[in-house]
Structure 1
């Protein structure tokens, strides 16, 4: 059943010209250099320090590493992060 749902979503992206991030429930990440990151389609903050941000996604987690990280804005599915961003890692669900 999950396979059909996935196929239907991919078909909707192609036929209806709907953005992939909306249909497939994947994060959309926009970076401005190493100083700012805007993340859409997250499901909540799991952990935050000035050197690491861990977000829950529909399918996995997103980890952002850096220095002097600050969450400037947070909405139910959007987040604006500032600081010196050093890396991003995506973790698949087990």
Structure 2
């Protein structure tokens, strides 16, 4: 019987912890650092799907993250991380 993705991720996560490696690094899951309602730093993303001042949709390995708010701005992005500023009203995982 084939294991499902969540079960595989749990096993890999436990192995990473046992080896002393951060599981988010091994699994490639998104990591969000939120500072109040005005700043989010996001690691482990694949790309920006939609970008307006009211909505930013970001593709990750595990799905999409949807940020809504006002005056949203991607201050910078690299292959590893991005920083979004503005008035963040909601964060949704799709």
TM norm. shorter chain > 0.5: yes
CA distance in 2, matches of 1:2, 1:59: 17
Let me know the Cα RMSD of the aligned residues.
1.7
- Following superposition of structure 1 onto structure 2, how do residues 1-94 of structure 1 map, counting pairs within 5 Å? 3=4, 5-6=8-9, 8-91=11-94
- 2:76 match: secondary structure: strand
TM-score by length of 1: 0.85
Number of residues paired by the alignment? Answer: 91
Q: What is the Cα deviation at residue 8 of structure 1?
A: 4.3
TM-score by length of 2: 0.85
Ranges in structure 1 where 5+ consecutive residues have no aligned partner? none
